[in-house]
Structure 1
């Protein structure tokens, strides 16, 4: 079994099409790709993909194989990145990632933790969606990230904050005159929900909706905060988002707290335990200093 077999299989699984995977992702011919997949199935000893006129679907064996294939590819990428860094040892690069918008609160705190090492390292900063950050950590592209505790990755997580969810709405919405929003206020309102890509946030929202008996039918699914704000403004709907959204709201959108028991979502720092970076070791040894509140966890 070769790495290309794993890459080809993952590409087909993610696109759901041999043709699309061949043309758009792998830049090879469809017959060649089909042969590679058959070779992989022969090697594994099980059918991984079910082929039909509508495309391809994962079999039970394929679903079991997919997570392991992704992990194997991520580990290869991480090893490659580690080798590249080791070949240029003059000055260590410490790559920080942030869930988009969270850097406003957490970048200054992170830099304070690294202040003793700053003369010896170059710090790079990037912001992305949470699943993309987890993938970058697993592949060795990032040393540490502020994100959600994404499942399915071989990463360690430490909770640094629990953020309450707030209600986003158009600034001229009738509910904007309320000090807080009750569950029954959602009745009949268009609802902008988190998509399955934002699975951690989606899980928190779904539990709250179910436990509160909110009768909503999501009209749209979004995987990032910018899209949520845009759809709230354009559809005149309501959305539930973490409180840090309040730092980024345009004038057309406002937020209100939830009445009663308020659901919250964890913000964590994530990293790979196999990462031997000295700067990461220092950061983790001082990570408790990130939480600078009188008691408990902060609300960013």
Structure 2
């Protein structure tokens, strides 16, 4: 769904803020409260501080993070972006902020967001970019989660986790360059939910960032919901139905990217 107007974009940003309110309130009642998911027009993580960019008016994940700090007193907020494109606005907006950790996995070719861009000033070390090669798939992303994302989140100890959930890394996306399956989106959602439960009272909000097609996005989001609700994955049925063909992953390049990230961030 494309934004129709500036007013529509304001409404979507406000909906994201309302979801933060709800999740904070729910976590005070029960740490097992469900993960929040902003199922609305894509959050558009390319919008800049002073101008729209790439059909993006506002970056709702970044707005929600600052709102959580200023209104709810949550000091440390983690933003994770796991799609195939670089979260340019979020990266730049919080580049010198030590209390908002920005972690992005994205395609290495054609996008900014380099290994050595780790933040500046007081924010040094609170930005982690992990550019991955074309052909990155399930094996790589699950290793990235276990070896990079989990230890970084545990070390940062966030008070809330916000996820820019883009599904354009799916194998059927002709532009993403990755070859993830819906099963990996289930695994990511399940792992992030557990991190939120362990570290920040279950406070976790996902913001939809879109994907290759309505069909792929709907199945991938459904897998995320199954993970949140404790239901089994149905990814295998989907992949068989759509006859998703996977190439061999560039394992050596992926291992190099993971090791370089570990070295830069002392993981």
Superposition TM-score, scaled by structure 2 size: 0.26
More strand by share: 1
Superposition TM-score, scaled by structure 1 size: 0.24
